[in-house]
Chains A and B, each alone.
Chain A
C-alpha cells in the first residue's frame, strides 16, 4: 500500500498512466518510422529516376494554353500563374454552382412539403432520381447534353446583337480595359459594410421604439444594387470588344466555354437534391407547438413563417448546408473529366504531365483545398457559436 509498492518496476506496467505514455510513445515512433520509410523510399526512387525536385518550377514558363481564364494568362506565363488561373476558375464555377444549387434546392425542398400532390411528387422523384446516381455520370451527361443541345457555329443563336451562343460556348463582348471594373469589388465591400451598419441601427431603433425596418430588403438592395450600379458606370468608361461571326467560328469578345456550362449544371442540379433534403428536414424539425404558439400570439401566416419557423429551421439547416457547399467546391474537381480548367485539371493534369513533379504538385493542390475547408469550418464555428440556443 505504501508508495514503495508502486515504485517497484514490475508494478509500473500496471499503472494506467505509464501504460498510456508507453502506448503513445510506441504509436508516435511507429508513425514517424512509417513516414520516414516512405520519405526515404521516395527520395531514393526520385534520385534513381533522375526527376528534379523542388518548387523552383513554379516560376518557369508553363507553355500550357488555357481557353477559359478570368485573369491575365498566356502560354508564356509561369506555373504559379497557371495555378492562380485554376484557383480562380474553381472559385468561379463554385460560386455560381452554390447559387444555382441553393435556389433549386430550397425550391425542391419546400416543394416536397407542398400540399399539392403533383408538386410534392415531382420534387420527390427529382430528389430520389438524382441522389442515387454518381455525380460523374451527371457531369458526363450534362456535357453531352450541352454540346448536343446547342447549335453548330453556323446556326449560332444571336443574343439580340450582344453576342452569340453555339456549341463552342457563349460569346459575349469584353471590355478592352478591365480596370474600371475594380470599382465593383469596392462597391460590394461598401454594400456589405453599409448593410451591417443599417442592421445595427435598425435593431437599436426597434429596441427603443418598436418600429421595425425592412432590413433584409434594404440589405439585398445595397449588396446587389451598389455593385450593379458600379458595373454599369464602369461599362460606359471603357471601349468594348464585340464578338463577330467569321468563317472559322466567332472572333473577338470573351467566351464562356461549354465545359463551364456543363459543370455548372451538373454541380447545381446534383447538389440541389441534397440541399432539398436538408431544407425539408429543417422545416420539419420545427415542432407544431411552435406554430400554434405563434398563432395564439396573434401572428399571421406570413409572420409565423418568417419570424418563428424559418429562423428555427435555418439553425438546423445551415450546418449541413455549409458542408454541402464545401462538397460542391471539392466536387468542382470532377471538371478534370471534361477538361474545364480548374485546379485539379490544370495543375494535377497539365502541369504534372509537363514537369513530372508529382509530390510537389499534389502537395500544393491538397494544401489549397485544405485551406478552403479550414476557412469554411472556422466561419461555421463562428456562426454556430453565435446562433447556439442559450440554455436555461
Chain B
C-alpha cells in the first residue's frame, strides 16, 4: 500500500466541523432520513413550546385575568408559591421551616466539603442535633414554640421531610435486614427474607393505604398515630426492604478473605461486621443507595392518596380552586421541574461517586 504511488488517495487528516456533520448526521441514506426526521420533530416541538413557556407566558398580575390564551400562566405559580413551599403552615411560624431547611442544607454542604480532621465528629454532632431537632422545630410545643399540627404542613416541605425521615428510619432497619439475610441462624434468615420479599412484592400505593388504615387499628386503644407519621412509616417499610437488598449486594461483593481475616484476628461477629465488613460494603453500595433515595423522593408524591399535601398534592388541591382551575399544565411543569432538578442532581452525584469508587484501588 505504501509503495503504490497514486493508487490510494493520500491519508489527509480529515477533521473539522464538516467531517463531524458528515459522520454524525449524514453518513448514509438511512442516517440522513433519521436526521431529517429529528429536525422535523424539533421544528414541530420547540417553537410552540418556547412560545408557551416563555414568549407568550405571563408572570405579572394577581389573577388569571392577567394571562393570555396560548401562553403559560406563571402568575398561578407566583401567587401560590408560598403555599407550594409551606402548605398551610402559619405565616408567622415559617421561619422555623426555613431554619430546618438551613440545617438540612448545612448537612448537604458538609457532605461535599473536602475531608478535614473533625469532619466525622461535626457530621455526627450535626445529625444528632438535626434529627430530633427538625421534628421538634416543625411540630413545636416545646421551648415556647407554638404547636403546628401536621395537617397544616404541606408543599415541598412535606416532600423533603418525608424523604429525609423515611431514609433515616429505613437505613438502620435495612442494615439489620441485610445482615440477617446473610446470617447463619435460620430463624433470623427466614424472617429477614420474608420481610424483604413481602414489602418488595406489593405496590407502594397499597402499603400507604395499609399504613393509614391498619396502623390506628393495631396500636392500643387511646393511642393515636399521626396521619403524616402513618404515611412515613409506610414509606419507610418499603424503602427499607429495597435498601436491604442493595446493602446485601455490597456484602456479597466483599471477598471471603475479609471475613476470615476478621475471624483470625479474634474479632467476634459484631466487632468484625462493624469495623471490617460494613465499612467496605457500604462504601461500595453508596451510589445504589442514592438511587434508592431518589426513588423514595419521587414516591413521597403518593401520600396525596391519603389526603396529605406534598408539593404535588398542594398543586392538585390548588387546581380545584375555581380561580385557578384548568391551569394543570403550569402546575405540573412547575412540580416536574422541581423534582427533576433534585433527582437529576442526585443521580449525577451518584454517578460521580461510582466513577471515583471504580478508580480507587481496593
Residues of A participating in the B interface, judged by any CB pair closer than 8 Å: 20, 23-24, 27-28, 31, 38-39, 41-42, 44-46, 48, 114-119, 122, 128-129, 131-137, 140-141, 144, 330-331, 333-334, 336-337, 344, 348, 352, 358-359, 362, 365-366, 369-370, 373-374
Most interface-central of B186, B205, B312 (chain A CB within 10 A): B205
11 contacts between A and B (CB under 8 A): A23-B188, A24-B186, A38-B218, A115-B27, A116-B31, A118-B25, A119-B38, A134-B339, A136-B302, A137-B335, A344-B203
- B217:A41 contact, CB within 8 angstroms: yes
Nearest B-chain residue to A111, judged by Cβ: B34
Which A residues are in CB contact (< 8 Å) with B34?
A: 114, 116, 118-119
Q: Separation in Å of the B70 CB from the closest CB of chain A?
A: 14
Which B residues are in CB contact (< 8 Å) with A135?
A: 298
* B56: interface (CB < 8 Å): no
Select one of B188, B191, B214, B220 contacting A359, CB under 8 A: B214
Q: A134-B301, A344-B209, A370-B201 are in contact. Are A28 and B220 (CB under 8 A)?
A: no
* B328: interface (CB < 8 Å): yes
Q: Separation in Å of the B38 CB from the closest CB of chain A?
A: 4
- B210:A331 contact, CB within 8 angstroms: no
Q: Within the assembled complex, what's the spacing in Å between the Cα atoms of A132 and B206?
A: 23
Map CB proximity to A onto B171-211 as digits: 1 under 8 Å, 0 otherwise: 00000000000001111100100000010111111100110
- A344:B27 contact, CB within 8 angstroms: no
- A362:B23 contact, CB within 8 angstroms: no
- A137:B339 contact, CB within 8 angstroms: yes
Q: Within the assembled complex, what's the spacing in Å between the Cα atoms of A133 and B338?
A: 9
Which B residues are in CB contact (< 8 Å) with A45?
A: 216-218, 221
Q: Separation in Å of the A350 CB from the closest CB of chain B?
A: 13
Select one of A20, A44, A144 contacting B184, CB under 8 A: A20
Map CB proximity to A onto B326-346 as digits: 1 under 8 Å, 0 otherwise: 001100100110011001100
- A118:B191 contact, CB within 8 angstroms: no
Q: Within the assembled complex, what's the spacing in Å between the Cα atoms of A251 and B124?
A: 67
Q: Within the assembled complex, what's the spacing in Å between the Cα atoms of A370 and B210?
A: 15
Which A residues are in CB contact (< 8 Å) with B139?
A: none
Q: Within the assembled complex, what's the spacing in Å between the Cα atoms of A352 and B306?
A: 14
Select one of A114, A128, A362 contacting B206, CB under 8 A: A362
Q: Separation in Å of the A326 CB from the closest CB of chain B?
A: 8
Which B residues are in CB contact (< 8 Å) with A116?
A: 24-25, 27, 31, 34-35, 38
Q: Within the assembled complex, what's the spacing in Å between the Cα atoms of A336 and B294?
A: 23
- A118:B217 contact, CB within 8 angstroms: no
Most interface-central of B24, B184, B185, B206 (chain A CB within 10 A): B206
Q: Within the assembled complex, what's the spacing in Å between the Cα atoms of A369 and B343?
A: 28
Which B residues are in CB contact (< 8 Å) with A115?
A: 23-24, 27, 31
Q: A132-B344, A337-B305 are in contact. Are A362 and B185 (CB under 8 A)?
A: no
* B150: interface (CB < 8 Å): no
Q: Within the assembled complex, what's the spacing in Å between the Cα atoms of A132 and B329?
A: 18
- A-B pairs with CB below 8 Å: how many? 143
Which B residues are in CB contact (< 8 Å) with A129?
A: 340
- B24:A117 contact, CB within 8 angstroms: yes
Select one of B25, B204, B209 contacting A348, CB under 8 A: B209
- B203:A369 contact, CB within 8 angstroms: yes
Q: Within the assembled complex, what's the spacing in Å between the Cα atoms of A359 and B209?
A: 11
- B213:A140 contact, CB within 8 angstroms: no
* B316: interface (CB < 8 Å): yes
- A134:B35 contact, CB within 8 angstroms: no
- B301:A370 contact, CB within 8 angstroms: no
Select one of A114, A134, A344, A366 contacting B312, CB under 8 A: A134
Select one of B201, B299, B335 contacting A373, CB under 8 A: B201
- B305:A336 contact, CB within 8 angstroms: yes
- A41:B38 contact, CB within 8 angstroms: no
Q: Within the assembled complex, what's the spacing in Å between the Cα atoms of A365 and B203?
A: 10
- B217:A359 contact, CB within 8 angstroms: yes
Chain B binding site: helix, strand, loop or mixed by DSSP? helix
Q: A24-B185, A337-B304, A358-B217 are in contact. Are A369 and B201 (CB under 8 A)?
A: yes
* B347: interface (CB < 8 Å): yes
Q: How many residues of B contact A (CB 8 A)?
A: 53
- A330:B202 contact, CB within 8 angstroms: yes
Which B residues are in CB contact (< 8 Å) with A144?
A: 328-329, 332
Which B residues are in CB contact (< 8 Å) with A134?
A: 298-299, 301, 312, 339
Nearest A-chain residue to B180, judged by Cβ: A27
* B219: interface (CB < 8 Å): yes
Which B residues are in CB contact (< 8 Å) with A352?
A: 209, 213
- B210:A366 contact, CB within 8 angstroms: yes
Most interface-central of A44, A137, A369 (chain B CB within 10 A): A137
- B312:A41 contact, CB within 8 angstroms: no
* B39: interface (CB < 8 Å): yes
Which B residues are in CB contact (< 8 Å) with A141?
A: 328-329, 332, 336
Most interface-central of B27, B184, B217, B328 (chain A CB within 10 A): B217
Select one of A131, A136, A369, A373 contacting B301, CB under 8 A: A136
- B186:A41 contact, CB within 8 angstroms: no
Which B residues are in CB contact (< 8 Å) with A122?
A: 38, 41
Which B residues are in CB contact (< 8 Å) with A331?
A: 203
Nearest B-chain residue to A38, judged by Cβ: B218
Which B residues are in CB contact (< 8 Å) with A137?
A: 301, 312, 332, 335-336, 339
Q: Within the assembled complex, what's the spacing in Å between the Cα atoms of A174 and B299?
A: 39
Which B residues are in CB contact (< 8 Å) with A117?
A: 24-25
Q: Within the assembled complex, what's the spacing in Å between the Cα atoms of A144 and B217?
A: 37
List 20 additional A-B contacts (Cβ < 8 Å) besides A140-B312, A333-B206.
Answer: A20-B185, A27-B191, A42-B217, A116-B27, A118-B25, A122-B38, A134-B301, A134-B312, A136-B302, A137-B332, A141-B328, A141-B336, A333-B203, A334-B205, A336-B205, A344-B203, A344-B205, A362-B210, A365-B206, A369-B203
Q: Separation in Å of the A51 CB from the closest CB of chain B?
A: 9
Q: Within the assembled complex, what's the spacing in Å between the Cα atoms of A331 and B329?
A: 23
Which B residues are in CB contact (< 8 Å) with A132?
A: 294, 339-340, 343-344, 347
Select one of A31, A42, A337 contacting B218, CB under 8 A: A42
Q: A116-B31, A133-B298, A137-B312 are in contact. Are A330 and B210 (CB under 8 A)?
A: no
Q: Within the assembled complex, what's the spacing in Å between the Cα atoms of A373 and B24?
A: 44
Q: Within the assembled complex, what's the spacing in Å between the Cα atoms of A131 and B298?
A: 10
- B344:A128 contact, CB within 8 angstroms: yes
Q: Within the assembled complex, what's the spacing in Å between the Cα atoms of A250 and B154?
A: 42
For the complex of A and B, list the 8 residue pairs with the smallest distance between their C-beta atoms, beginning with the closest: A132-B343, A38-B218, A24-B187, A134-B298, A117-B24, A118-B38, A373-B201, A333-B203
